Each structure stands twice: as C-alpha cells, then as structure tokens.
Amino acid sequence: MSNNPDPNPDPSQVPDDLLSSEEQQQRDGQIEETVDAAPASLGSPSRVLSIDTRVEQAWAHWKKLGRPKYIVAPMVDNSELPFRLLCQKYGAQAAYTPMLHSRIFSETEKYRNQEFTTCKEDRPLFVQFCANDPDTLLEAAKRVQNFCDYVDINLGCPQRIARRGNYGAFLMDNLPLVKALVEKLVQNLTTPVSCKIRIFPKLQDTLNYAKMLEDAGCSLLAVHGRTRDEKDGKKFRADWSAIKEVKNALRIPVLANGNVRCIEDVDDCIEATGVEGVLSAETLLENPAVFAGFRTAEWAKGSGEEEGYVDGGLDQGDLVVEYLKLCEEHPVPWRMIRSHVHKMLGDWFRIHPQVRERFNAQNILTFEFLYGLVDELKELGGRVPLYKKRKLDTLNVKEESPKRV
C-alpha cells in the first residue's frame, strides 16, 4: 500500500478550531510514499484471543521495535515529519505524529496530504488520532495502519478545542465510549493499538481506567502524570508515583510523560516508575537535542552543578538550519515551520528582539528568509550554546566535543 501525493494541494478547508490554536499560515506539503512494509500482523482479532495471548503479543511487538526509551510526544502542529527526523538524529528512538482529527482525516484528501507525511526512516512511529466515533476512527486508522507501528488514540488532550469537539481528555467522562473506540480498532486492525491518557484526581479511578483499556485490547499505554485540569506543565509537576502505580497494575508496556527537562530526568523517571520509556514534548520544542544529552543554558546553569557543564559545540541556530533542510526535503505547512523556528530561536530573540519583531511581521515565509534570519543572528553575536555534561576519566577532567549523531 502507498499513499498517492496530491501534487498541487490547495489550502485546506478544515475548520481551524478543530486542528490548532496556531494562526493558519499558507499551507504546503504532500504525503510521502513509504517503502516500509506494515508491522507483522498480531494474528486474530482481540475478541478471540485470551488476555495472556494479547499481553504476550504486546510485549513481542515492543521488543521487536527495540524497546525505545527516548520518545517524541504527540504535539499538535509540532511533531511533524521533519521535526521527528531532527529529534531522531539527536537520540530520539521513536515518535508520535501530531494529533490528527479522525473525521477530517477520513473525509478530506487535502488534510491527509498536508497533515500526515512519513518516510522509511520515520520508525518506530505512532500515528495519533482524536475521535469520538468508533466507525469514523476505524476508517481513519485503516488508512495509516501500513505506515506505522501503533495506531494511537488521544485520550489526554486537555485543551478547549478538545472540550468543544468532545475528544481527548474529555472522553474521561464517557468511559464506555472510550472502551468502544479501543475495541473497534483492536478487532479490525492488524497494527497494534496504543492509548495516551491523563490521570484522574483519584488514584483508584486512574487504575480502573488503565485496566479497562488493557482489557479492551490496548497494547501499550502512555500516561501523562497530570490531571485534565493541570494544563500548565511549569506550574504543576507530573505525578510519577501515579504512573508507577499504573505500571505495577498493568501487564502491557507503559510509557511516562511529564517533568522531562534533560536526559537525566528520563533516567530518573524510568527508575522511579519502572516504565519502558519516556515521552518529551515542550522541552524538545526548545531543544530537539535533549535525548543526545544537550541542555539549554537555563537547565545547565540552574542544575545546581553549573561547573559540570561545558559548551557542547551546538546551538539552536544550528538546529534550525538542520530543521529547515529537512523541511525542504519533506515539505510541511508553513505554520508548523514558523512555530518551530520561533521556539528554537527564543533565547536568541530575547537578545535581539528587533530580529524577532521582523520575523513576526513576515506574513509569507520562505526558506531564503529563514536562513538569512539565522545568519543575521550569528552576525549580531551573543551566541547561545547548548551544553553537555563535562566528561570525567580516571586521570583528569577533560572536555569532549560532542559526537554528532
């Protein structure tokens, strides 16, 4: 199976409030043909398999993928193909697509062509959908199952668009519907089904919820350790203890999301919770090299061991250039590119606000303009490096240049 690109996609007619809070920019991009085969079938539908067999198959599939620990979380408009590939270059071992709206994906070819692109290097891959109708979700899932390793159901989005659309974390108020969504996919797809959730205020409610998903046939569960009302990640710490309880209660692989600012946080989270891997979202947007051990100045100098970090020989300007080259190779809508450039150059823009103002005023972006923007920042000076931990050997302390992945 392959996806046929629309060679001249027009701006999508999709209602903006269902897709993103970003202003809609000129849209570009195409669906990319992949040569990867579909994952091996998990056999008969879940309805005729015992729980023991389903658990065994869930682990077999996860192990076949290499048990990835460092994972790019799903982000609306921000975990698209070029960004996934950039994160992969710097240590990410698996990634989610942005959240895709199942109804619009099923109905609108232009939306499919613009919002979902992949390539043979883009694996392991979770394709995430929001949905509130099992049949519609299945129709969308069938279109992507040969191009990914999991079809994921978004049960964790806490934003107002999810409330208006009745999906994401707001389905926590209708657990029978959640169960129906999972069962519909499990019984009709050959690709495993995963889910991403938030926790309930009460631990037992969370455990009951997670167990219901496992019983329905979910093969992997990602748990964001915040409640639906705890939207601000800087204000509310994720509850790793709740994630640990979910991990202990389930038999399928479990992933954690929340409180990841650096690679050491990933290791600490795995040790504290026992999960298989950890998702990162906001931190990666500013620093896509997190999983390669790089830190921004904020997290290097605020770590309490500032002397232990050295200039890693890489900065966000370098990462922007690498990202733009990937975008030229794998086109995506300009609104996504604008968002990434803004986040990755945020520290530089604070030093040179006049450059930020010119960037914000540029209504129509071009690669020439964006490359020139990075060149201008470098010429103005005030380099903002990323930092790496100082390496120690048995004889002395020495600073090592980073190995480019």
Say if residue 119's pLDDT is above 80: yes
The stretch 66-94 carries a mean pLDDT of: 97
Checking if the pLDDT of 293 tops 50, the result is yes
CATH 3.20.20.70 given to domain 51-291: yes
The whole-number pLDDT of residue 10 equals: 35
Domain boundaries, the chain: 51-291, 309-389
Q: pLDDT value at position 384?
A: 82
pLDDT digits (tens, 9 = 90+) for 167-222: 999 999 999 999 999 999 999 999 999 999 999 999 999 999 999 999 999 999 99
pLDDT in tens, 54-75: 999 999 999 999 999 999 999 9
**Interior angle at CA 295, CA 332 and CA 388, nearest 5:** 120
227-247 average pLDDT score: 89
Residue pLDDT, tens place only, 333-366? 999 999 999 999 999 999 999 999 999 999 999 9
- The pLDDT score that the predictor gives to residue 306 is 53
Q: What does the pLDDT average to over 255-271?
A: 95
Task: State the Cα–Cα distance between residues 362 and 357, nearest whole angstrom.
Answer: 9
Least confident of 44-53, 79-88, 133-142, 201-210: 44-53
State the Cα–Cα distance between residues 376 and 392, nearest whole angstrom.
36
Provide the 8-state DSSP code for 1: -
Which of the two residues, 154 and 310, has the higher pLDDT score? 154
**68 vs 41, higher pLDDT:** 68
Strand partners of residue 280: 72
Of 193 and 41, the structure prediction assigns the larger pLDDT to 193
pLDDT of residue 381: 80
Mean pLDDT of 236-265: 96
Range in 13-17, 147-151, 250-254 with the lowest mean pLDDT: 13-17
pLDDT over 90 for what percent of the chain?
73
* H-state helical runs in 74-144: 81-89, 102-107, 109-115, 134-144
What positions carry a catalytic annotation? 157
The answer on pLDDT for 390 being more than 90 is no
The answer to whether 119 and 329 have CB atoms below 8 angstroms apart is: no
**Residues 295-321, buried b or exposed e (16+ Cβ, 10 A)?**
bbeebbeebeeeeebbbbbbbbbbbbe
Mean pLDDT of 141-159: 96
**How far is Cα 261 from Cα 341, in angstroms, rounded to an integer?**
19
Distance separating the N- and C-terminal Cα atoms of the chain: 31
Report the percent of the chain where pLDDT is more than 70. Answer: 81
